[in-house]
Amino acid sequence: MYSQYTPSPSRYGDMQYNRCGKSGLKLPKVSLGLWQNFGYGSDFANAEKMVRTAFDLGITHFDLANNYGHPYNGSAEENFGRILDNGLKAYRDEMVISTKAGYEMWEGPYGDRNGSRKYLTASLDQSLKRMNLDYVDIFYHHINDPDTPVEETALALDNAVKQGKTLYVGISNYSREQTAEILKIFRELRTPFIVNQPSYSMLNRHVEQGGLDALAVEEGFGLAVFSPLYQGLLTDRYLNGIPADSRIGKGNTWIRDELNDKMLKKLNELNKFAQSRGQKLSQAALTWVLSNKAVATVLIGASRPEQIIENVCAASAPLFTEEEKAKVDEILKG
């Protein structure tokens, strides 16, 4: 049974869009990632409401992966397919849908963590079937595989484009050196490679330290950043302790050990600084990421629609000045 859905007529009023590198594709400054709260055991009505809320706010980019929905890998894609079939698919041409393959997915040697042509081809076919789509807009290799020749991975991604199963290709969790290596092959093949998806936040500077952002600007591809709130630390949730319903409270995150007194002091100072900008801490953390000119979009997660409404405001906020960036660095060094 299909439910009626009419998106907000003002959905493109406030959202801003960035060109992804030098490609022709524009991405919303804030995109929705479906890693958590969209898979098996999640409240489907809430998941559907979050996706519709995002689209109503001008978020056109929805980011998935074959293994989202653990322990039932693929369940996030299945639920997203149901949401599309429930009225959203009429707006498919207004959406950028991405998925990935690379981590352990199914039993046996062809579904474990790898970048082989066999695995990537089979996985994309599975993803399209789960979402009931003819193609995705971006297909990523989710993580570098040192045991597969980089040429094989690049050719598999290129082949997916030639087959019409994806419009663009991307890579995720690749270092600057790994990116530069596969980029050469993409250039030779004329593959529409447009994006790398790394983790990046005020508390995680590997993108800067490793020079990935500089390479992106130099070579003309974009960055789609995940974990910009550092698993929730860069929100106001932990400023006064650990809520029972938070990620740390539920014990399903690795950052509990980092939430010590020293970190709490820094977070409270960052919160005061965010307030001086007229923002909540989470909003300022997102705008800070977007202030890096290599970043095309920042991926947010959510457990309820209100979080999306709150954080999408970061897209229209003024970018950080050099003085403000220096202030953040000063706080974090303390």
**In a domain? residue 1:** no
CA distances from 221 to 18, 141, 149, 200, 285 (A): 12, 15, 22, 16, 23
Structure tokens at 304: 């309820």
Would you give the distance in Å from CA 143 to the centre of its chain? Answer: 14
Look at the alpha carbons of 182, 183, 188, 190 in this order and tell me if their dihedral is positive or negative: positive
Question: What is the amino acid identity at position 183?
Answer: L
- Residue 157: its H or E element: helix 150-162
The pLDDT tens digits for 159-193 are 999 999 999 999 999 999 999 999 999 999 999 99
Would you say 301 and 37 are in contact if contact means Cβ atoms under 8 Å apart?
yes
Q: What is the pLDDT of residue 254?
A: 65
Residue 28 pLDDT more than 50?
Answer: yes
Separation of alpha carbons 154 and 57, rounded Å? 35
**In a domain? residue 327:** yes
The pLDDT tens digits for 258-312 are 888 899 999 999 999 999 999 999 999 999 999 999 999 999 999 999 999 999 9
**In a domain? residue 4:** no
Residue 253 pLDDT more than 90?
Answer: no
State the average pLDDT over residues 55-66: 98
Q: What is the pLDDT of residue 194?
A: 98
Please give the residue that has the higher pLDDT: either 158 or 257.
158
Q: What is the pLDDT of residue 56?
A: 98
Q: What is the pLDDT of residue 257?
A: 75
Q: What is the pLDDT of residue 232?
A: 87
Number of H helices, E strands in the chain: 12, 10
Task: Work out the pLDDT band at 249, boundaries 50, 70, 90.
Answer: low
Instruction: Give me the torsion for CA of 64, 70, 72, 76, rounded to 10°.
Output: -30
Identify the CATH number of the domain in which residue 295 sits: 3.20.20.100
**In a domain? residue 149:** yes
Average pLDDT, the chain: 95
Residue 281: which of 268, 271, 267 has the closest Cα? 271
**In a domain? residue 8:** no
Region label for 65, one of left (φ > 0), alpha (ψ between -120 and 50) or beta (otherwise): beta
Task: Work out the pLDDT band at 1, boundaries 50, 70, 90.
Answer: very low
Residue 54: which of 297, 313, 312, 314 has the closest Cα? 312
State the average pLDDT over residues 35-42: 95
State the average pLDDT over residues 224-251: 83
Q: What is the pLDDT of residue 300?
A: 97
Residue 200 pLDDT more than 60?
Answer: yes
The pLDDT tens digits for 120-139 are 999 999 999 999 999 999 99
State the average pLDDT over residues 41-54: 97
Q: What is the pLDDT of residue 82?
A: 97
**In a domain? residue 2:** no
**Structural domains of the chain, count:** 1
Domain range for residue 87? 17-333
Backbone φ, ψ for residue 120 (5° rounding): -65, -40
Q: What is the pLDDT of residue 187?
A: 98
Residue 16 pLDDT more than 60?
Answer: yes
**In a domain? residue 178:** yes
Residue 330 pLDDT more than 80?
Answer: yes
Residue 195 pLDDT more than 80?
Answer: yes
Residue 52 pLDDT more than 80?
Answer: yes
State the average pLDDT over residues 97-125: 97
Separation of alpha carbons 192 and 169, rounded Å? 6
Structure tokens at 133: 């789509």
**In a domain? residue 304:** yes
